[in-house]
Amino acid sequence: MPQDDDEDPRNGAVEANDHAHQSPLKKPRLTRPISEPDILQEFSHHQQGFARINNGSFGSCPRSVLSAQNTWHLRFLQQPDEFFFNSLRKGILESRAAVKALINADDVDDVSLVDNATTAAAIVLQQVGRQFADGSFRKNDAVIMFHCAFPAVKKSIGAYIGPAGGSVVEVRLPFPVRSNEEIIAEFKKGLERGKINGGRVRFAMIDHITSMPSVVLPVRELIRVCREEGVDQVFVDGAHSIGSVPVDVKEIDADFYVSNLYKWFFAPPAVAFLHCKNSKGLVDLHHPVVSQEYGKGLALESSWVGNRDYTPQLVVPSILEFVNRFEGGIKGIMKRNHDGVVKMGTMLAESWGTMLGSPPEMCASMIMVGLPSRLCVTSDDDAMSLRTHLRVYHRIEVPTYYQALRNEDRDPKDKDGFITGYVRISRQIYNTDEDYHRLKNAINQILEDGKICSMLPVE
């Protein structure tokens, strides 16, 4: 893994500038270094006996941050009026300021805290839909995205863009993937398809890290291509990014960038940041829930959407206290997780006689590992049966993936046939190597028993 922090190949972000106070990305001063027993205690609320190698889906929150969240809860319950008038907005602003420094944003007003990436997509896509509906965009203009965009985001595009008259171009992500160049080449082909019948691609939805299959995309290069081709706006869905890869919104240069804080940055669910470049000029950008703050800018609109639980938005400073107990802070955690997942992914591929779904430099804290062809993963149902079987009978939680055969020259093989099944393994600080050896042994046991996916018991 490259060591030059200023040119990380996974997005090329440089370190955040020091605005008024030390950036959370700069090497922190360790106040009380964390030990391995401390880590075990921080995550002792996890169900015991499970190999939990699916941090990517729901994330994880340490006890110290949960304790801080509970303190905020009690402050609200003890005296709601005082909390609302004197504490809530101030606390959310402090969290937004911490995120601003973390992602190297110019202005705290460009940073809003929302529930999740799905909410952020709805915020942005509703204004894109309005531009199609009011004639600012023409009926044969298009939105472009990768075919493996998160399902909820794809549904949002269908809900907001299709009825307004826009068309959608889906770019197939090459997988298994060998290089950034082949991703960029496919994306350029998609942009050309968007010009058919004299149309233009007006909006691009680009993942920073795709969910399934999981690959770190070359976002800076893809955005550069969009600018060259005259795409009006680019939204980066970085749901898995913060805490997993460096995020510098100036370097990335998207119009909109969202990342969930609860997946890889230890927040309780649910909170995400949405960065809007030059937000003061975006007068038509609004939270879908209209409240008393409507019209005061997205950051304030998002800070109050009615009486609800705001504590996930308030604990960002406590999260920074937690991550800064690690050597190297969040950067040290990212390197630890990346190196660990590559090591364990390589171990699994060697044991099963398969391969990784991408080069190590194109993964973050998750990596795809090919399953032995003898398992006969021939459908999405087969993949889900295997996932359920591993949970119920082996106490292993890991996502599984089916990849249909597409091109015999490209489709990967092991000694017995074509590989069509994969697991997506995650590595977070609470994981141990034993978690992955359990997965290795479980798959090997299924093969020794002569079972295939369609034969596995699931209940």
- How does pLDDT run across 77-129, given as a tens digit for each residue? 999 999 999 999 999 999 999 999 999 999 999 999 999 999 999 999 999 99
Q: Which tens digits make up the pLDDT trace of 316-325?
A: 999 999 999 9
DSSP state of 245: B
Residues 272 and 318 occupy one common structural domain: yes
Based on the fold, state whether residues 181 and 299 are members of the same structural domain. yes
Which residue, 290, 323, 356, sits at the end of a domain? Answer: 323
- Residues 123 and 212 occupy one common structural domain: yes
φ, ψ of residue 423 in degrees (nearest 5):
-115, 145
| Residue 271 falls inside a structural domain | yes
- Cβ(440)–Cβ(352) below 8 Å: yes
In a domain, 343, yes or no: yes
379 and 299 in a common domain: no
Of 307, 323, 339, the residue at which a domain comes to its end is 323
Position 83 in a domain: no
- In whole angstroms, how far apart are CA 313 and each of 99, 149, 278? 11, 26, 22
Q: What is the pTM of this model?
A: 0.91
Give me the mean pLDDT over the 272-300 stretch: 91
CATH number, domain containing residue 443: 3.90.1150.10
Are residues 301 and 412 both part of a single domain?
Answer: no
- Over residues 200-204, the mean pLDDT reads 96
Instruction: Tell me: do 307 and 336 sit in the same domain.
Output: no
Cis peptide before 360, with omega less than 30 degrees from 0?
A: no
Give dist(CA 301, CA 252) in Å, integer: 25
Across-strand partners of 113?
Answer: 273
Please indicate, yes or no, if residue 280 is contained in any of the structural domains: yes
Q: How many C-beta atoms surround the C-beta of residue 110 within 10 A?
A: 24
256 in the same domain as 341 = no
Domain-terminating residue out of 295, 323, 351: 323
- Between the alpha carbon of residue 396 and those of residues 68, 75, 355, the distances in Å are 30, 38, 21
Share of the chain above pLDDT 90, in %: 84
Map 257-273 to HEC letters: EEEEHHHHCCCCCCCEE
Q: Among 181-185, 227-231, 281-285, 424-428, which stretch is predicted with the lowest mean pLDDT?
A: 281-285
Q: Are residues 348 and 243 in the same domain?
A: no
Range of the domain at 259: 90-323
Average pLDDT over residues 176-200: 94
259 vs 59: CA distance, rounded Å: 13
Distances (CA, A) of 426 to 8, 57, 260, 348: 20, 9, 16, 13
Continuous H helices in 49-179: 55-58, 63-78, 80-82, 89-103, 117-133, 151-160
User: Angle CA(270)–CA(339)–CA(445) in degrees, nearest 5?
Assistant: 85
Dist. CA 372–CA 423, nearest whole Å: 11
Q: Are residues 298 and 266 in the same domain?
A: yes
Q: How far apart are CA 86 and CA 317, in angstroms?
A: 18
* Interatomic CA distance for residues 404 and 289, integer angstroms: 40
The total number of structural domains in the chain stands at 2
By residue count, the chain amounts to 459
- Are 308 and 373 within one domain? no
In a domain, 55, yes or no: no
Is residue 3 domain-resident?
no
Residue 242 confidence (pLDDT) above 80 = yes
Q: What angle do CA 312, 317, 322 make, to 5 degrees?
A: 95
Distance CA 432, CA 39 (A): 11
* Cα 418 to Cα 146: distance, rounded to the nearest angstrom: 24
Residue 85 belongs to some domain of the structure: no
- What is the CATH classification number for the domain harbouring 145? 3.40.640.10
112 within a domain of the structure (yes/no):
yes
Is 344 found in the same domain as 309? no
Beta-carbon contacts of residue 447 (< 8 Å; ≥ 6 apart): 372, 374, 375
pLDDT tier for residue 269 given thresholds of 50, 70 and 90: very high
Tokens 């531009």, located at residue: 131
Do 139 and 160 belong together in one domain?
Answer: yes
The token pair that represents 286 in the structure block: 């609004």
Whether omega for the bond prior to residue 176 falls within 30 degrees of 0, making it cis, is: yes
Residue 5 pLDDT class (50, 70, 90 cuts): very low
Q: What is the per-residue pLDDT for 61?
A: 98
Instruction: Indicate whether 19 pLDDT > 50.
Output: no
